[in-house]
Amino acid sequence: MSVQTWTWILVGLTFTLYFGIAIWARAGSTKEFYVAGGGVSPLANGMATAADWMSAASFISMAGIISFAGYDGSVYLMGWTGGYVLLALLLAPYLRKFGKFTVPDFIGDRYYSNTARTVAVICALIVSFTYVAGQMRGVGIVFSQFLQVDINMGVIIGMAVVLVFAFLGGMKGITYTQVAQYCVLIFAFMVPAFFISMQMTGNPIPQLGMGGKVEGGAYLLDKLDTLHTQLGFKEYTSGTKSTWDVFAITLALMVGTAGLPHVIVRFFTVPKVKDARKSAGLALLFIAILYTTAPAIAVFARTNLIETVSNKSYSEIPEWFKNWENTGLIAWSDKNNDGKIQYVAGNALDGKPKFTADRGVNGERLVSNSNASANELYVDRDIMVLANPEIANLPNWVIALVAAGGLAAALSTAAGLLLVISTSISHDLIKKQIKPNISEKGELMAARISILVAIIIAGIFGIYPPGFVAAVVALAFGLAAASFFPAIILGIFDKRMNKEGAIAGMVVGITLMLFYMIRYKTGLIGVMSPRPASEWWFGTSPEGFGTIAMIVNVIVSVIVSRMTSPPPENVQEIVESIRIPSGAGEAGAGH
C-alpha cells in the first residue's frame, strides 16, 4: 500500500479512538471540565502530562533543530528536561496542596487580589497563544504532506479535531485522550529510530547507535563531523554559542517549564498531593524516553540527508525529496547551472522560499528569492523527523506511523493549551470577577464558547505562523519564565511577598520579554526587520532573554514588596501550611 493509504488508515484509526474517548469522557460538571473531577490515577496522569508536555516542538521540531545546530541544539534537551525536574520538585506538590484549579486562581488567592488574578490571566493568554501557534503549524505541516491537502486546510482539519475532544470532554476528555496520544506518539517516535539505528550501526537501541560504528569502522559522530567539515560547516559536535547564552537559554527553558500553565494544571487532576508527586515522577520517565532518543534521530537524519542529497544531480534524487519539495519545506536553486545540488555552508535562501508555478530545466521547483550564497539547498528544520523514515527508505507503514505520531503530539498539547485559555476566561475572569453568581451550567457554557473562540484564533496563528515550531515554543517558555515563575515560586517560599510586589514583577517581566522578543525576533519595533545578533543585550538571544526578564521580575517583586505593607496574617499562614508535608503533625507545624 502507498504511504498516503497507510496514513489515512492509521490517522483514521487513531482519530476514531480519540473521538470515542471524548464521547465516553464527556464532562458533566465544571470540576470534570477543569480538572477531570480530580480523580485521575498517577499512571494515567503521568502519561497525559507527558503527552501534554511533548508537543509538536518535541516530536517534530526538536530533533530538527539539533540536526542543524548540532551541539548548540543541546540547550533544548537540557532546558526542557531540567525544567520538568524543577517543576516536579519545587512546584507541583505545593500547588496541588493549595488546591486551586488554575495558575491565575492560585495567584489571585495567594496575592488576595483580583488585579493580580487579571494580570495572571493576561499572562496565561499571551503564553498559551504563543505556544499554540507552534502546535497548529505542526498540524498543518503533517496534514499538508501526508494527506496531500493544502497546509491551510490541514490547520483547519486540526482545529476541528481539537474542538471535538476539548469541547465535549474538557480536562476529563483531554486527559484520557492524551493517554492514548502518548502511546501513539512514543511508538511512532521510537519505531523509526530502532529501524534506522539498526540500519546504520547494527545496534537497534538508538541511544547506543548514535555512539556506535558505521560501515567502514568509523564512529558515526566522527563520520558526521567529517561530512560537515568537507562541506564547509562547523563540526557537528562543536558549538558556536557563548557560554552565557547557553546558560541563559537553558535556564529560561527550565524556569519557563515550571511556569507553563497547561502543565501545572495537570497536577490538580489527581486525588492527593502524594499522587501529584508520583505522576510527576512517572511523567519524567515517559518524557525521558523521547528526549534521550531525539539526539540520535538528529544524527541519523543529518547524516542521511547529506549523503542522499549533497552533490547529487536532480535526476538521481529519490522521490521523497520531490514530494517534500511540493510543500515548500525543502527547495533547491541551481545557482551555478550544473544540475547538481550543492549543499555547503551559507544561507540557501532569504528566509522561506517563494516558488513560481513553473519548474526548471532539471525539474526543480523554481525559487523566486534565491541569493548569491554558494549554498543551493533550503531545508525547513521542521521536516527532519517527518521525512527521516523516507530518507532512510523505511516501509510505508512506518512513514505513515510518524505522521500519526506527529499529529498526536501537536493535537494533545494544543488541546491542553486551549483548555487553559478557556478556563482562564470562564473561571478566572467570568466566575471569579465579572459574574460571581453564574450557574455551573452557565460557567460550563462560557468555557466551551471560550474554547471555540480560542481555536479560531489558534488556527489563524497556524495559517500565518510566526516562525518554525520549536523557535516559537522557546519564546513561549521565555514569556512564562518572565511572568509566572517568580510569582509562583515567591508565592510558595516567601511569606513576605505581597500583591503589590507580584503585580509589579509580572507586569515588568512580561513587558520586557515581549519588547525584546518583538524587537529582536520580528523587528516590529522601530525597524522593519529583526535587529542583528550583534545588538543583543549582554549577548543574550531572544530565546534566552527570559532569564534576564525573570531576574528583573524577581528583583522588582522583592523590592516593591519590602517597600509596601506585608500580606494579611491569614495569607502568611496559608503559605506556611502548604510547605508542611501532609501528616507531619504538630512537630512539623511548629517549624
Same domain, residue pair 244 and 130: yes
Cα distance between residue 83 and residue 85, in whole Å: 5
Report the amino acid identity of residue 547: T
Asked whether residue 452 is assigned to any structural domain, the reply reads yes
Strands (E), 285-370: 330-332, 355-359, 365-367
Q: Does 122 have pLDDT greater than 80?
A: yes
Higher local confidence (pLDDT), 430 or 369: 430
When mean pLDDT is compared over 100-109, 418-427, 552-561, 582-591, the highest value belongs to 552-561
Same domain, residue pair 379 and 278: no
Q: What letter would DSSP give residue 378?
A: E
Same domain, residue pair 376 and 400: no
Q: What letter would DSSP give residue 211?
A: T
Cα distance between residue 425 and residue 444, in whole Å: 11
Higher local confidence (pLDDT), 367 or 81: 81
The pLDDT, as a whole number, for residue 564 is 92
Cα distance between residue 509 and residue 402, in whole Å: 38
The pLDDT, as a whole number, for residue 588 is 41
Higher local confidence (pLDDT), 503 or 183: 503
Q: Mean pLDDT across the stretch 414-434?
A: 75
Same domain, residue pair 340 and 463: no
Query: Reduced to 3 states, what is the DSSP secondary structure of residue 101?
Result: coil
Confidence of residue 556 (pLDDT cuts 50, 70, 90): very high
**CA angle (29, 32, 35) in 5-degree steps:** 140
First to last CA, the chain: 68
Same domain, residue pair 394 and 382: no
Q: Does 466 have pLDDT greater than 60?
A: no
Same domain, residue pair 320 and 296: no
How many domains are there within the chain? 2
The pLDDT, as a whole number, for residue 586 is 40
Cα distance between residue 170 and residue 177, in whole Å: 11
Tell me the pLDDT of the chain averaged across its residues: 78
Sign of the alpha-carbon dihedral angle for 191, 236, 328, 412: positive
Same domain, residue pair 106 and 137: yes
Nearest alpha-carbon partner for 158 in 509, 408, 342, 533: 408
Nearest alpha-carbon partner for 291 in 414, 153, 168, 409: 409
Cα distance between residue 537 and residue 557, in whole Å: 22
Decide if 332 contacts 341 (C-beta within 8 A).
yes
Same domain, residue pair 218 and 341: no
Same domain, residue pair 257 and 136: yes
Asked whether residue 259 is assigned to any structural domain, the reply reads yes
The pLDDT, as a whole number, for residue 562 is 93
Confidence of residue 528 (pLDDT cuts 50, 70, 90): very low
Q: Does 525 have pLDDT greater than 50?
A: no
Nearest alpha-carbon partner for 351 in 334, 335, 367, 340: 367
Other beta carbons within 10 angstroms of residue 563's beta carbon come to 10
Q: Mean pLDDT across the stretch 404-432?
A: 75
Q: What letter would DSSP give residue 567?
A: P
Query: Reduced to 3 states, what is the DSSP secondary structure of residue 520?
Result: helix
Q: What are the φ and ψ backbone dihedral angles of 326, each rounded to 5 degrees?
A: -65, -20
Q: Does 319 have pLDDT greater than 50?
A: yes
Same domain, residue pair 290 and 422: yes
Decide if 548 contacts 537 (C-beta within 8 A).
yes
Cα distance between residue 496 and residue 571, in whole Å: 10
Asked whether residue 589 is assigned to any structural domain, the reply reads no
Q: Does 458 have pLDDT greater than 50?
A: yes
Q: Mean pLDDT across the stretch 33-58?
A: 71
Q: Does 552 have pLDDT greater than 90?
A: yes
- Weakest-pLDDT range from 126-130, 370-374, 390-394, 540-544: 370-374
Tell me the residue range of the domain where 334 lies.
Answer: 305-388
Other beta carbons within 10 angstroms of residue 35's beta carbon come to 24
Asked whether residue 587 is assigned to any structural domain, the reply reads no
Cα distance between residue 590 and residue 199, in whole Å: 62
Asked whether residue 224 is assigned to any structural domain, the reply reads yes
Same domain, residue pair 315 and 421: no
Confidence of residue 559 (pLDDT cuts 50, 70, 90): very high
Same domain, residue pair 427 and 449: yes
Query: Reduced to 3 states, what is the DSSP secondary structure of residue 376?
Result: coil
Q: Mean pLDDT across the stretch 157-182?
A: 72
Cα distance between residue 293 and residue 312, in whole Å: 30
